[in-house]
Amino acid sequence: MSFALRPLRPGDLGWVIERHGALYAADKGWDLRFEALVAGIAADYIKSLDPARENAWIAERDGERVGSVFLVRREATVAQLRLLLVEPSARGLGIGARLVDECTRFARATGYRTIRLWTNGTLLSAIKIYRAAGYRLIAEDPTDEYGDQTWELALPHG
The residues spanned by each domain of the chain are 4-154
The DSSP output letter for 110 is T
Average pLDDT over residues 9-20: 98
- With CA atoms as reference, report the closest residue to 34 among 85, 87, 80, 99: 85
Can you give the pTM of this predicted structure?
A: 0.95
Residue 1 confidence (pLDDT): 62
Phi-psi map region of 72: left, alpha, beta (phi>0 left; psi -120 to 50 alpha): beta
Q: pLDDT band at 26, cuts 50/70/90?
A: very high
Q: What is the CATH number of domain 4-154?
A: 3.40.630.30
pLDDT score recorded for residue 143: 80
Burial class (CB in 10 A: 0-12, 13-18, 19+), 125: exposed
Contact in structure between 66 and 94 (CB atoms under 8 Å): no
